[in-house]
Structure 1
Amino acid sequence: MLVKAYGKINISLDVVGKREDGYHLLKMIMQNVDLYDSLSFQKCNKGINISCNKPYIPTDEKNLVYKAAKLFMDTYDIHEGINIYLKKNIPVAAGMAGGSADAAAVLRALPQIFKIDVDVNELMKLGVKIGADVPYCIMGGTALCEGIGEIITPLKPFKNQILVLVKPSFGVSTKEVFKNLDISKIFKHPDTDAIIKAMDDEKVEDVCNGMKNLLENVTLRKYPVLKRIKEDMIKMGAMGSMMSGSGPTIFAFFDDMLKAQRCYDKFKIQYKEIYLTRTI
């Protein structure tokens, strides 16, 4: 079995509070993009055996693919084994939920492979044990995610919007970004409801004017180059540009494929991980 694991961007990311256990309470608009990892699965006698096309990706229990497979097999008392080959395309530590998407793909595939009858809500409850983005990645599409990410409301699809994504050569730790976020110093929050309305009405310019990611307060301060990428994208005709998740990937919406291609070509000279894609 071959499964695609799609990356995501945040069209909005608001931090609305903090739980006693240290987890931040979020209100985010999540959107899948047409950039994906592929996972192929094959049953075997025993064990969870992972291989990957990128040598720097761990293939042991540190990998969320392994964690998802182990959690599922332990939960449903499966004694057979599974071989998983991961073809990685989504940038790593990029704010695009690549690892979470891979874990979600495992949780979607294993019920079919081992013939276990599990509904999607049950899978999403399992997914949140692995990571806050996993439940969304199981469902995909366009969604409002609240709580720590596990309360999901599907939204009207916001598909076929042209995007350029730039991931600089460094990664960012989500944990570190949240650790350095001081909610008491944040006074301007995104108007999430207004952004959702603009998305419903397909007013992309209004979406771009309203979109906001509070984690930029931390990541952009630490890496000024990200602010420059955003500014350069706007100069090149983007309707709006923002950081996805905890970063460092910067994305921009374009109303015209020619402008997007010019932007892509310019950044391609400087950055290895650049993508011209669409929302799906």
Structure 2
Amino acid sequence: MLSKLQVKTVEKGIPNTAEYRMYFKSNQGYISPMHDIPLYSNFYTKVCNMIVEIPRWTNAKMEINLREPMNPIKQDIKNGLVRNVANVFPHHGYIWNYGAFPETWENPDVVDPLTGHKGDGDPLDVLEIGERIAKRGEIIQVKVLGIIGMIDEGQTDWKVIAINVHDPNADKLNDIGDVEKYFPGYLNATNEWLKHYKIPEGKGINTLEFNGEAQNKEFALKVIDATHQHWIKLMMGDVKPFGLSIRNTVIGAKGLWPFQMAEREINNREFKTGTEPPIDIAVEKSHFITTPQQE
């Protein structure tokens, strides 16, 4: 289905500003990266499609905008300013290609039986650990390796560990145990990053479930399937949308929105043009975190 759609990205507005948007467009017209791109590239081998929101080593907190029609990628806004994640030493920006699985949703009205907390209302986050730095808006096919359970401000926020199927190491990595074998230290660095990245913003340490131990592929696939079922109920109108835009143009659910309407609304929206403003120099600062064990 994905290859038939021939998906490309269309940028609107000026990067590093609040109005910047990256839309997704198929050979038929604009589509939603959350609703119109299938979760599985190959259902039988469980190879998934991942939407890359944030390339490795970058700081801009980009995310699929769930509340706007066609769900473009935008930069998160905090206190009226575009948001960038802090560099928590020794890391710089995001340490993986960061993105999301389409057709998944962590229902904020349902308690996850595995964590005891309700979902965060977003699609499943994916941490792709391959060698290549991906591009924003790229759709890559990934092999699921495992999953980390994070509690973010009292909500369940799963992080799937995956690798691009075209990565030179993909054949060697088939489950979570292989990550430490071939990429020693990566899972530990991931735990540290997830726990500490909000501390420079004045927030506390994030809690990781299962004592921070990443769960295996089988466990991860069950979580993926559960969130996919939540998404199906969302699109069928069986659960509250919590302000999410469920307009889509490909699948025949209640959210169906004709291509022509999407095209018209996006093209009629006025976006500024001009030179991209410089990134705040404070984004380059390294933050040194003292944990209770170090005090």
Give the helix-richer structure, 1 or 2. Answer: 1
TM-score higher than 0.5: no
The TM-score normalised by the length of structure 2 is: 0.26
